Every structure is written in structure tokens, then in C-alpha cells.
Amino acid sequence: MPLVHHPDGEIYYELQGTGFPILFLLPQSVGPNGTKALVNSLSRKFLVVLFDQLGTGRSIANSNEYDPSISDRTTEVNCLLDYLDFKTTHLFCHSTGCGLGVSWASSKPARVKTLTLVNPWSYADEQLTTIQRLMIDAAKQLSPYSYAHFNSTILFPAKYKATYTEAFEAKAIAAERLPHNALQIERRLNSILNFDTRTVTHKVTSPCLVITSRDDILMPSWHADNLAKEIKNTTQYCLNFGGHMLPETRSKRISWLTRKFLLEHSQA
């Protein structure tokens, strides 16, 4: 199992494809189809780098008390890319990963070829704060089965959930065997609320692609509007539907838009 040593633990990573590297910065939540279709598509032109953040998935933190801010997690990106000896990379970021991507791109602009932000947030406004706090309370109060359904209802459009009813039900049943950690969820969601992109966006110099959806209730499209105003050289798209999990619900469209953008800047 490929692991990279970090002062606070061991980072698990995967590589797929060949070509110029594109590092994926993803949230923990995933639906029945995940990002496999998107990764497979982009790996035909690029070397896709996937990793689990410390304390999640197959990456192990040395302490159960490991509770880094989003800015602190940039050390994980540095550690991984230094180990792989990648001087520069494209960044593909979704949801929570957008904060990490903006933070890293602002601190290491020379190492970021392009920055792609899908379903991002800009700061903790009333809508984002309300939804995140509801999710924290739900994680504490609901059973693993009920929380799985609650979480997917926030993240996915009703039509998508209806299409994959059996798959979502299977994930909720599986959650009973591997229950969520309410404390970890609270820490992760609070790290989102505590990160204000407006403090660092002026330092982002790489070309930026921002994609959002009109029906994203967690991180509404106005956050993307804010980022597009703050980051120079930004290309912006707002899709009519797809909810918060666009890399899964609109994988073909996201792949096409991302690939087009990356190829335009690969020779720059």
C-alpha cells in the first residue's frame, strides 16, 4: 500500500493515468457512483493523483486528537507532492477540497498550474453556517442509517436520489456496520466555517476554473460568483442542476469542462 510519511501520520495515495499531474482534493462524502467515471475520463490525458487526508480513509493520523485547520492541511499536500517530486501540478478541488486548494494555491502559487473549484464556498455566510450546524447536530443525534439518508438528501438532487434509490438505501444500511464519527464530522465542518477564502484569494495567480450548480443548497452558486470576482483569470460555469456533488451527478459535463480548461493551459 503506497504511503507517504508525514510528521502527523501516514498519507495513502493512488496514481492513475499518464501525463501532467492533476491532484484531486475531495471531500469525504460520496454517493453510490463516486468519482470513478470522472477520474477514468481525466486519466486518459493526465496523471491523476488521489489521496486520503490524514485521519480519513486509509491515511492514518498519529493521534485521535489530530484536528488541523484547512490551512494546516496544506502540509499534507506539500508532503505528498514533494515525495512524488512534482514541481507543479493542476489542482482539481471539490467542496471541502476547494478550501484546501485555494489555501495551497495562495501559499505556493508557483507550484499550481491551474486551479479548478467545483461547488466551492467563499466564506461562512448565514446559509452555509445554518446547513453545516444542522449537519453537525444530525451527526450527533441521528442513527448511522438515518444520518446517511439525511446527508445524501442535503448533497444530492431529489431526482438523482430517486434514480439510485436502492444504492442509497444500501449505503445507509452499510453505515450501520461502519457508523460515522460525530466528533470528526464536527471538526471537519467547523474547519469549513472557520476558513474565509477572502483572506487569501488575492494571492492566487494561476488560471482558475469555477463550476457550480443552481440547485446546490449546501454551498450555493453565489459563493462561486464571489470567487470569480476575487481570483483573476477565472473561467466560470453554473450548471442548471446536479446539486452539491457535481463530480458524481454530472461527471460527463464536469469532465468535459475540466479537460477543455486544462488542455488550454497545459502548454502555457
Q: What is the mean pLDDT of the chain?
A: 95
Which among 81, 78, 120, 127 has a CA at the least distance from the CA of 97?
Answer: 120
- The 10s digit of each residue's pLDDT in 215-251 is 999 999 999 999 999 999 999 999 999 999 999 999 9
**CA-based angle 257:260:266, to the nearest 5?**
135
* pTM for the full predicted model: 0.95
Record the cell numbers describing residue 224, joined without a space. Answer: 462561486
pLDDT of 268 > 60? The answer is no
Percent with pLDDT over 70 in the chain: 99
- Report CA-CA distances (Å) from 147 to 29, 124, 139, 167, 190: 12, 23, 6, 15, 18
C-alpha to C-alpha distance for 11 and 262, rounded to whole angstroms = 26
DSSP bridge pairs for 10 = 5, 60
Classify residue 267 as exposed, middle or buried by CB count within 10 Å of its CB (0-12, 13-18, 19+).
exposed
**How confident is the model at residue 267, as a pLDDT?**
62
